[in-house]
Structure 1
Amino acid sequence: MTGIDLVPLVDEGLGNSAYLVDLGDGRALVVDVSRDLRAVHAAANKRGLTVAFAADTHLHADFLSGAHQLGATVGARVLASANGGREFTHTGLSDGDEVDLGGLRLRALTTPGHTHEHLAFLLLDGEREVGVFTGGSLLVGSAARTDLVAPDRTEALARSQYASLHRLAALPGEVEVWPTHGAGSFCSAPPGAERTSTIARERASNPLLAAADEDAFVTALLGSLGSFPPYFLRLGELNRRGPALLPDIAGIAALDGEATHRHVDDGAVLIDVRPLARFAAGHIPGSLSIPLRPVFATWLGWLAPADRPIIIVRDTEQDLTEIVWQAAKIGYDNLIGELAGGVDAWSAAGLELTRTNLVGPDQVDGVRVLDIRQTPEFVSGHVPGAVHIELGDIAARAEDLPHEPTVVMCGHGERAMGAASLLEQAGHRDVSVLAGGPDDWVHATGRSLDTGR
């Protein structure tokens, strides 16, 4: 135990952790917090703390930072890399710079790789090195990807990442490792429940630290990179400029059916956040299914346009505030309203609904199967003969796919329904969704999945 009152604030949907540190004098430090500050305010209020410092390890690609908001609204001192070119008030730090937190100290360590301006923050209690906020450098069992700045810089940043990891690994073994990216993050983190570690544990178990040399490290890191949402390429610049400030209470207008129809005619997009079974039973033609769940923000940013107005369709028991904040934390400030009364009101007004068939795992034989999971999921085991296209690529390829009876599948059905709605938008009509995933198919049929071996 470190003796430091540190509170991890885990965003299960994005796979990230922010941190709040009680400085012991009524003030707090927060690290890598998102624009959705609800958890930060709740943790601080519970302890009677004022957020005095907001540190960002890097220009985040997967969420908008809340540091600018905290600086503007509660007077927090924003700490970030001097090399980041941020255009809002902050304290720019370089390697070795220290900030007195009132007993504790924070030391900046340049650790480029995930981004060119990346800092790790070493927390010191007196001269004791307690823990290090590693952001997107040293992760639990891994290191964050290096291909989000520019394609022509990916390898050079991977080589910088090698040096950064070994710099951090040289810290005393008892130093706690507090990364930002964890399991579920598309910034590259392996699966697993552990979100924090120690330097000693990472030296002993992190396969990237075990790489024979820099070239082997680069080969391993770059070979692990998968796809990522397109909004990752926009948010770094928004974080550099400073995200727009938001009111404390998020909300959007209630639109009747006529107004909704008019907005759609003018180019608005309908995002239906209801559970997949509800969407399947009846939905507005052309609407996009992205069920509200912890990963809602990721798939909203992957599938929905950021440059067109968005109207939400939900069930009354679904939390509108949650929807708006999830959208806001990835820069989707283009939610202009929700359909008042939802699908029931649309139907009551005599407006058209359509359906999507849900099928069981015993109903896919003899039908074209489209598996839209991520590549590592597909490779680990899939229905024999299944066609593989990742969900993020469906919209671009939908018009080229054959118009024939198709069952779309993923791990449980939610992503598959999103793919089916995209196919329907492109004119595909004989599309069904598997209610379940590969394990359900194995259980129902007694057959084995294809792993390519």
Structure 2
Amino acid sequence: MSDTTTAGSASTVGPTAIVDEGLGNSCYLVDLGDGGALVVDPPRDLRGVRAAAHEAGLRIRFVADTHLHADFLSGAVQLAHDDGASVVASAAGCREFAHVGLDDGAEVDLGGLWLTALATPGHTDEHLSFLLSDGARPVGVFTGGSLIVGSAARTDLLGPERAEDLARSQFASLRRLSRLQADTAVWPTHGAGSFCSAPPGAERTSTIGRELATNPLLAIDDEDRFVERLLGSPGSYPHYFARLAEINRRGPSVLDTAATGRLTALPVPEVRRQCADGAFIVDVRPVSDYARAHIPGSISIPLRAQFATWLGWLVPADVPVVVVRGDDQDPADLVWRAVNIGVERLVGELHEGLAAWTAAGLPTASVGLVRPGEIDANRRVLDVRQDAEFAAGHLPGALHVELGALARDAGDLIDTPTLVTCGHGERAAGAASILERAGHHDLAVLVGGPADWAEATGRELETGS
């Protein structure tokens, strides 16, 4: 379940933030003072939202979406269906489900509190920010993917050909927001960990005054220099982003929440039949368990905060998925993370796990685990982190292929003894599984990351790309 924290604000009207650490996003629950609540940018996985509303004794009456999200499916349709909530969003988004379409300057009476729609295109064309006011007093602004703490959200998700025009729109949008009162709280959707771009380690919330003093993008008065800075190196992002905005425009299907969270138990013969028909086996156990023994050709994606991102990135969108998990891993947590990004093709899980596979006399595979001080100099080192991580420091002589690109490039790599590295080991295990599936042999995973190697050996890391 998402972590729940209270968003910082100079006002007692400040919302509760429900943070998805894996996707790097926040949604917000606002107590309207009459037993009702507003939710801003809810994900499809509403467990955190519902827990926060239940704890506060609130009924969700309004839902606001700042933009057509690309990194997760919105929970707005589900809340409208289950709770009778009224959905407000940009009229320019042309959503195909029941909602109140807002234009720039439109106001929504929440019963004492007011929302004012502010057109802030840039991250997307139809992007709105929502200014929350208590009477005539501005309290805070839900900035979605416009102004975020220490930065602004990326503008290339609609294609590289649109990136510059949208960056220029983002420049104007940030200037508009910066003219709000200095003590106005800033409540963004995207934060640290989001592939929609946020500085690592950034706080989740801020104020207009603090951003004016510390956000480097707000210090740039020249539009061309702003665009150059914003477009400089946004990094790669999961390819499933290209699908989700359109699904959000049409409206995600309503889920049976009582049934969602369960996995059908599949006997070994059925798992083998599914694989013969093209299904992928996804092994969600910890790296150490996967390394010790796993079903050959399975993809390692450990169940952790970032599970959904890598499930959507590493497994093709059109194939069924069979899960192998450990007894202590919650299937509901796995399924909800998957449906949050639109993965609804989980056909089931291997009944009784890997023990059933081995009991049937079927073969398993393994990969080595290597400690930082025990690296064989004859092994190729493959670093699968993001470009910026690699450039900041990597093992000398390491080959670099981002994990998200490895399935495409694995067939071009020479099959040679390989040690795969990332930051801690989870992405490296995923990379090793992709290489194994592509026919590579003699694979090992570094336990830890480059910093651990440098500490263990006393040697310097290489920097640069």
State if a TM-score over 0.5 links the two structures: yes
CA-CA distance at 1:57 after TM superposition: 0.1
Q: Does 1:361 align with 2:338?
A: no
CA-CA distance at 1:151 after TM superposition: 2.4
User: Residue type of the partner of 2:23?
Assistant: L
CA-CA distance at 1:352 after TM superposition: 1.3
For 1:83, what is the secondary structure of its paired residue? Answer: helix
Q: Does 1:387 align with 2:407?
A: no
d(CA) in 2 for partners of 1:452, 1:106: 46
d(CA) in 1 for partners of 2:378, 2:317: 39
| Aligned equivalent of 2:16 | 7
CA-CA distance at 1:91 after TM superposition: 0.4
d(CA) in 1 for partners of 2:263, 2:87: 30
Q: Does 1:377 align with 2:389?
A: yes
Distance 1:96 1:212, change over 3 A: closer
| Aligned equivalent of 1:260 | 271
| Residues 150-197 of structure 1: CA deviation (Å, up to 9, x unaligned) | 322111000000000000000000000000000000000001241000
- Match of residue 117, structure 1, among 113, 119, 126: 126
Q: Does 1:432 align with 2:444?
A: yes
| Aligned equivalent of 1:318 | 329
d(CA) in 2 for partners of 1:188, 1:70: 27
| Residues 207-264 of structure 1: CA deviation (Å, up to 9, x unaligned) | 1111131000000000031000001111000000000111113112110111111001
d(CA) in 2 for partners of 1:78, 1:165: 25
| Aligned equivalent of 1:93 | 102
5+ unaligned residues in a row in structure 2: which ranges? Answer: 1-9
User: Residue type of the partner of 2:363?
Assistant: E
- 2:293–2:365 contact (8 Å) kept in structure 1: yes
Matches of residues 234-383 of structure 1 in structure 2 within 5 Å? 234-249=243-258, 250=260, 251-364=262-375, 365-383=377-395
d(CA) in 2 for partners of 1:452, 1:280: 31
- Match of residue 73, structure 1, among 75, 82, 105: 82
User: Residue type of the partner of 1:196?
Assistant: T
Q: Which moved more, 1:353-362 or 1:269-278?
A: 353-362
- Match of residue 235, structure 2, among 226, 238, 254: 226
| Aligned equivalent of 1:143 | 152
Identity of aligned residues (%): 62
- What TM-score results when the alignment is normalised by the length of structure 2? 0.96
| Aligned equivalent of 1:134 | 143
CA-CA distance at 1:47 after TM superposition: 1.4
- 2:301–2:311 contact (8 Å) kept in structure 1: yes
| Aligned equivalent of 1:418 | 430
Q: Does 1:188 align with 2:197?
A: yes
Aligned CA RMSD, in angstroms, stands at 0.9
User: Residue type of the partner of 2:316?
Assistant: P
| Residues 298-320 of structure 1: CA deviation (Å, up to 9, x unaligned) | 11111111211001100011000
d(CA) in 2 for partners of 1:261, 1:452: 45
Moved over 3 A (4+): none
- 2:390–2:464 contact (8 Å) kept in structure 1: no
- Match of residue 456, structure 2, among 435, 444, 449: 444
- 2:149–2:202 contact (8 Å) kept in structure 1: no
| Aligned equivalent of 2:214 | 205
User: Residue type of the partner of 1:393?
Assistant: A
User: Residue type of the partner of 2:87?
Assistant: V
User: Residue type of the partner of 1:259?
Assistant: E
| Residues 128-167 of structure 1: CA deviation (Å, up to 9, x unaligned) | 0100000000000000000111322111000000000000
| Residues 24-72 of structure 1: CA deviation (Å, up to 9, x unaligned) | 1010000001000001111111111110001000000000000011111
- 2:150–2:202 contact (8 Å) kept in structure 1: no
Q: Does 1:59 align with 2:68?
A: yes
d(CA) in 1 for partners of 2:220, 2:229: 8
Distance 1:15 1:259, change over 3 A: same
d(CA) in 2 for partners of 1:296, 1:34: 15
CA-CA distance at 1:104 after TM superposition: 0.1
Distance 1:47 1:452, change over 3 A: closer
| Residues 414-437 of structure 1: CA deviation (Å, up to 9, x unaligned) | 000000000000000111111111
CA-CA distance at 1:367 after TM superposition: 1.8
- What TM-score results when the alignment is normalised by the length of structure 1? 0.99
| Residues 80-114 of structure 1: CA deviation (Å, up to 9, x unaligned) | 00000100000000000000000000000000000
d(CA) in 2 for partners of 1:145, 1:234: 17
Q: Does 1:401 align with 2:410?
A: no
| Aligned equivalent of 2:5 | none
- 2:132–2:138 contact (8 Å) kept in structure 1: yes
d(CA) in 2 for partners of 1:444, 1:42: 44
For 2:70, what is the secondary structure of its paired residue? Answer: coil
For 2:420, what is the secondary structure of its paired residue? Answer: strand
For these two proteins, the number of residue pairs brought into alignment is 453
d(CA) in 2 for partners of 1:380, 1:151: 25
- 2:284–2:324 contact (8 Å) kept in structure 1: yes
d(CA) in 1 for partners of 2:81, 2:175: 36
User: Residue type of the partner of 2:370?
Assistant: V
d(CA) in 2 for partners of 1:193, 1:141: 7
CA-CA distance at 1:5 after TM superposition: 4.5
d(CA) in 2 for partners of 1:236, 1:149: 10
d(CA) in 1 for partners of 2:345, 2:88: 29
